[in-house]
Amino acid sequence: MLEKGSEVGAHILSGAVLDPSGLNALIPDWKERGAPINTAVKEDNFYMLGEAGQIRLPNMIMPPLMNNHGNYIVSMGNVCRWLAEQAEALGVEIFPGMACSELIYADDGALKGVVAGEFGKNADGTPGDGYEPGMELHGKYVFLSEGVRGSLAKEVIAKYNLSANCDVPKFGIGMKEIWEVKPENHNQGEVTHTMGWPLGLKNSGGSFIYHLENNQVYVGYIVDLNYKNPYLFPYMEFQRLKHHPKIAKMLEGGKRIAYGARAVTKGGLQSIPQSAFPGGVLLGCSAGLVNLPRIKGNHNAMHSGIAAAEAAHTALQNGQSGDMLVAYDTALRQGPVGKDLKKVRNVAPLNARFGPLGGLALGGFDMWFQTLLGFSLFGTLKHGKSDAQSTQEASKHQPIDYPKPDGKLSFDRLTNVSFAMTNHEESQPVHLKLADASIPISVNLAKFAEPAQRYCPAGVYEVVHETDKDPRFVINFQNCVHCKTCDIKDPSENITWVTPQGGDGPNYPNM
């Protein structure tokens, strides 16, 4: 197992309220084995926020599948660290700090392996002092499990045309802070989700606030990336959220101790590409397995890993290798993952068509209807445009005036990025590749006010205006937290995220 983070868990960012169904299937005695899963959900709230107040939606109107009782508030980074220990005890070899930079194909076109662990390139791509070439590693089957918008998954989806029969993938950008709050403001086991302010009723997204142990609270915001206004600034929407009276009261006197961001898949069932291909499979969010209204995907990632392992095990026992694990793709769609995603498949398209309020009402109706009668009156709705195509020209919109962060509840991006502990060797090639270096200024700035300046949650992209000079596009790649939003949302689809040197990127302690 190859891990691009400096250690297992370093690049994991998730809410997270864990539905333990996947873990129960994988390691039924996880409690006895000391899994870091200690906080059962004891209170589950859903609010519609206005700028100065909120309305609580009664739990009884929520479809049963959205009920969080029986689930646990966890640091998924820590759960992954613990899972790695369990795997190592079974003899699995794990190599952290090894980025897979290239895929290797066999003569018959099947995926054969990866190149990993290339270190020490100069900025221009030539070998620098202390250059170490990558190693070619071959596998009978290669499992790609890179999370949302993986660079290798993107390559195989294109190579094998895996999305020929599915809808476009859809995404959100999730940003998260960990806070230590005053004991009197802490309520271990409380889960809160909100919609409405500050995004309003034109853009969809919402917040999550989870009280875990040690007076810590996860505060996060997900902004759906299908927003039209290129002036929208997801990071500043998140900062504004914390000034809502209800949230500000809980955070007051506390301190933010970590920050991170990661794209989230929200295309659901209709956007899952063919997930088996010659020589390998796509797992978890490489296939896009998040259940949007439940705001959960970790259980499905585990179910997908189990299904892939079982399919590969059977194939190996039959003497096969390097072929297509069709049984995995079938199990994914017909097993627990497909069942989990089926009832919620129209929520994202309804949100996109009718906005957050109409989407909430119609999506809620559709989930109830399917729960009670087993089918949907809508059939399976399509998503429409990709997130990149959803961005409209700046001339159709007004710039948004965001309040300046106060340094207590809200923070500027660069200060917050220092709490992601991200690090990249500065002498290496930039890992954010522009297909055409002129597009950010000639097209994106001219037409879209270059939204990369705002959608990146780490402030990587800047347009620098100097007197008597043309504007310049600058990429501060050292700040990147590997969220992949630029690879998704650039209106010209001009940016490709590739792996930097292994071990680089964020160093999340317990995201």
Q: Which residues bind ligand SF4 (CB under 6 A)?
A: 432, 456-458, 460, 480-486, 497
Residue 96 C-beta: closest distance to ligand SF4, Å: 20
Closest to 284 in 3D by CA, of 80, 66, 71, 510 = 80
Choose between 346 and 499: whose C-beta lies nearer to ligand SF4. Answer: 499
Residue 461 C-beta: closest distance to ligand SF4, Å: 7
Q: Which two structure tokens, joined as six digits, stand for 53?
A: 């107040």
Helical spans, DSSP H, in 222-346: 234-241, 245-251, 298-317, 326-334, 336-342
The rounded radius of gyration (Å) of the Cα atoms in the chain is 22
Choose between 147 and 279: whose C-beta lies nearer to ligand SF4. Answer: 147
How far CA 417 is from CA of 52, 254, 257, 425, in Å, comes to 29, 19, 11, 16
Residue 194 near residue 236 (C-beta atoms within 8 A): no
Residue 389 C-beta: closest distance to ligand SF4, Å: 18
Q: Is 443 exposed, middle or buried (0-12, 13-18, 19+ CB in 10 A)?
A: middle
Residue 253 C-beta: closest distance to ligand SF4, Å: 30
Beta bridge pairs of residue 121: 127
Choose between 35 and 263: whose C-beta lies nearer to ligand SF4. Answer: 263
Where do the DSSP E strands lie in 428-510? 432-434, 461-464, 472-475, 495-497
Residue 425 C-beta: closest distance to ligand SF4, Å: 15
Choose between 99 and 212: whose C-beta lies nearer to ligand SF4. Answer: 99
Choose between 71 and 226: whose C-beta lies nearer to ligand SF4. Answer: 226
**CB count in 10 Å sphere of residue 152:** 22
Residue 487 C-beta: closest distance to ligand SF4, Å: 7
Choose between 410 and 485: whose C-beta lies nearer to ligand SF4. Answer: 485
Choose between 141 and 455: whose C-beta lies nearer to ligand SF4. Answer: 455
Residue 450 C-beta: closest distance to ligand SF4, Å: 13
Phi, psi of 159 (to 5 degrees): -60, -45
